[in-house]
A and B are shown apart, each in its own frame.
Chain A
Amino acid sequence: MIAKGNFVRNLNRKTVAVGLAVASAFVVIGNLVFSYALETLDVQAERLGISGENILEAPFPEYTIPGFDNVWCSVLLGISSMLLIFAITLVVANLLKKKGQDS
C-alpha cells in the first residue's frame, strides 16, 4: 500500500511539473505573441461610448506591473500569478477534503 502511495505521489509530481511548465509556456506565448486583446465586449463598449472602467482599482491592471512597461515583467507577473492560483487551489481543495473527512 505504501509503495503504491509513493508511486501515485511521484506520478502526480511529474504530471504537475510538466503541467506547470506548459502553463508557463502559455504565459510567455500570451505575453509575447498573442497579447493584443480586443474582445467583442470591448468593441461594443467602444461603439456605445461606455467606458467599462472598473470600480475597484486593480493592483496589476491589464496584467502589467505599474511603472514597469516591459514585456518580461508581465511574463514574470503572469507566471507568479499562475503559481499563486495553483497554491490557492491546492489549499482550498485540501481544506474541503479535510472538512469532508471530519464531518
Chain B
Amino acid sequence: MHIPDGFLSLPIAIATFAATIVFWAISFRKVKNSLDERQVPIMGLLTALFFAAQMINYPILGGTTAHLLGGASLGIILGPYAGCISMSIILVLQCLLFGDGGITALGANVLNMGVISVFVPALLILAFNKVTKDRGLFAWIFISAFAADVFSAIFAGVELGFSVPTFQYGLNIAVSAMVINHSVIGVIEGIVTVVLIATLLKLRPDVLSKSPSLKNLQFFQVFNRVERWSASS
C-alpha cells in the first residue's frame, strides 16, 4: 500500500499533501482538547504494535503479499483524530528511516492509510451504533475494519489511476488490482481488529470507555456512570 516516489503525478501528489495537511491540522486541534490521560500509554502502545504488525507480509493472490494497516483498530480504539496522528507517526518514520513509501507520496500514503483507513471504521461504528444499539457489535467491527482496507485501496487506486502518464495503467486496472488484493488482507484486518477489541473489552474496558467511537455504546455509558460514581465516593 505504501506508494514510492515516481508513481504519482505532480498534481495528485500536491492535492493529497494538501488534503493530508488539513486532516493533520484538525486532528492535532481535536486531540489537544480531548485526549484522556489513560489513553496516552495506549496510544503509544498501539502505534508501536501496528508499526510492528506492518512488518509481517502475508502471502495473498498471484504470488503477491500485503500487510495489515491497523487503521481500523487505531480509529476505533483511540478515535479517528488520535488514530490519524498515530498512523501518521508510523508512516513518516517508515518513509524517513526505511524508505517505505516515497517522500513525494507521503501525502497520499497518509491520506490512504492515516486518514481513510482510520476515519472510515470510526464513522461506520458510530453510524452502526445509532442504528443497532449495541447489537452485533463485533460483526460491525469486522465489517468496518474490512471496509477500511477496501476504501484505502480504492483511494490508492484512484490516485494512481489519475496519475497517467506517470503511472500508465488506467483507473479501472489500478483500482481493481488494489481492491482485489487488499480485500484479502481486509478479512485478516477484520479478524485482528475484533480480537484486539474483544481482548481490551475483557481486560481493559476503562481504555475503551474513553474511545470517541465506542463511548456512546450503552455498555460504556453504564460503565462510565459507575466509574464517575466510584471516583466521587
Chain A residues close to B by CB (< 8 Å): 1, 4, 8, 11-12, 15-16, 19-20, 22-24, 26-27, 29-31, 33-45, 48, 50-63, 78, 81-90, 92-94, 96-97, 99-100, 103
Contact for B6 among A19, A53, A87, A93, CB less than 8 A: A53
Chain B residues close to A by CB (< 8 Å): 1-7, 28, 31-35, 37-49, 51-53, 55-59, 62-67, 82, 85-86, 89-90, 93, 95-100, 102-104, 160, 167-169, 174, 177-178, 181-182, 203-204, 206-207, 231
**Is A31 within 8 A of B55, CB to CB?**
yes
**Is A89 within 8 A of B47, CB to CB?**
yes
A4 to B102, CA, bound (A): 46
Total A-B residue pairs with C-beta atoms closer than 8 Å? 199
**Is A34 within 8 A of B56, CB to CB?**
yes
**Is B35 within 8 A of A78, CB to CB?**
no
> B177 contacts which chain A residues (CB < 8 A)?
40, 44
**Is B181 within 8 A of A8, CB to CB?**
no
- The residue in A78, A97, A103 that gathers the most chain B C-beta atoms within 10 A of its C-beta is A97
A87 to B47, CA, bound (A): 10
A46 to B1, CA, bound (A): 15
> A60 contacts which chain B residues (CB < 8 A)?
97-99
Contact for A58 among B37, B65, B99, CB less than 8 A: B99
- List 8 extra interface pairs beyond A41-B2, A81-B97, CB under 8 A: A15-B42, A23-B53, A26-B52, A39-B66, A40-B178, A52-B7, A90-B43, A93-B39
